[in-house]
Amino acid sequence: MIHESFFETDNKQRKIFFQKWLPEHDDTKGIITLVHGLGEHSGRYAHVAEFFTSQGLAIITVDTFGHGQTTGKRGHADSMEAYMEQISRLLELARQTVPNKPIFLYGHSMGGALVLSYLFRYNPKINGLIATAPAVRPGFEVPKLLLAIGKIARIIAPSFTQPNSLDVENLSHDREVIEKYKADPLVHNQASGVVGIGLIEWGEWLLENARQAPVPVLMMHGTQDKLTSYEASKQLASQLTGDVTFKSYEGLYHEIHNEFQKQSVFNDMLAWIKKHL
């Protein structure tokens, strides 16, 4: 595969990091725009890109505000709408990278909640959406003190961050994945009230407002996910009408793309994408 990375400077002079992976042969069937999860970054999806590029699909992704190589305070964004703007730009770049080809929007965890929010708020022209372990609701009880501090800080000190309470031991059954995550200098555990409380509120908005899916949707979730709620994903999928598929993975943890059974997950994604090309 061909890998390229680049920065763009936005109107606030922040450098935003993008990267893309392209099939080596000029027979690209479509492109996947990928949005990563809370505290991580796009570089953790190189193996996902390797699989899809081998199947003739390009991938383009961004380090969202507060993450990875994009400049700015870790764990913080000016607003939740700022993430929507990043997704809009990602889709623009996808159209430029692979013109006149199908586009699929794919998000994991926080990214899953963001792409679902984008779909139901903006109704983009895409061919389908994939959300894995979307953060519709947390899969654990967030400490009340953290919630209270987050709500107050969002008003009086928006960029103040605190630990996000995610237990990294529950990412995957694969010990190597967890050790790499812990050793990754671009990974962090911080979230501001703008991001943390915003994510919870936007997840509730989805459950209250998302009904008719404007494009085909694939939602995938491990039944033993302790970081984001499997039941909330299932509830959201069940209330959606249209071409909606919900895929459960018995016993898997949060990062289904990093479990020992990841090849099965990739194959399921690919089969669904081929159906909607």
Q: What is the pLDDT of residue 143?
A: 87
Q: What percent of the chain has pLDDT over 70?
A: 100
Strand order in the sheet with 128-132: 2-9, 15-22, 57-62, 30-35, 103-108, 128-132, 217-222, 244-249
54-70: pLDDT as tens digits? 999 999 999 999 999 99
What tens digit of pLDDT does each residue of 32-46 get?
999 999 999 999 999
Packed helices 193-209 and 144-156: angle between N→C axes, nearest 10 degrees: 110
Q: How many residues does the chain have?
A: 277
Q: Give the mean model confidence (pLDDT) for residues 255-272.
A: 98
The catalytically annotated residue of 36, 67, 254, 257 is 254
pLDDT tens column, 1-32: 999 999 999 988 999 999 999 999 888 999 99
Per-residue pLDDT averaged across 192-216, rounded? 97
Instruction: Evaluate whether 89 touches 124 at the Cβ level (below 8 Å).
Output: no
What whole-number distance in Å separates Cα of residue 183 and Cα of residue 192? 23
Q: Determine whether 109 is an active site residue.
A: yes
User: pLDDT (tens digit, 9 = 90+) per residue, 122-166?
Assistant: 999 999 999 999 999 999 988 898 899 999 999 999 999 999 989
| Tokens of residue 242, six digits | 């249209």
CATH fold of the domain at 2-276: Rossmann fold (3.40.50)
Answer for the pair 115, 131: CB distance below 8 angstroms, yes or no: yes
Q: Which of 243, 262, 264 is nearest to 254 (CA)?
A: 262
* Residue 110: CA count within 13 A, CB half-sphere: 26
Mean pLDDT of 183-205: 97
The catalytic position among 109, 117, 172, 192 is 109
pLDDT for position 21? 98
Catalytic one of 172, 221, 225, 257: 225
What is the b/e burial string over 198-217, where b = at least 16 CB atoms within 10 angstroms of the residue's CB? bbbebbebbeeebeebebbb
- Quickly state the pLDDT bin for 276 (edges 50, 70, 90): very high
Q: Is 225 a catalytic residue?
A: yes
In this prediction, residue 47 carries a pLDDT of 98
What is the rounded average pLDDT of the residues 238-255? 98
Known catalytic membership, residue 36:
no
Encoding tokens for residue 49? Answer: 């890109």
Domain boundaries, the chain: 2-276
- Supply the pLDDT for residue 165: 86
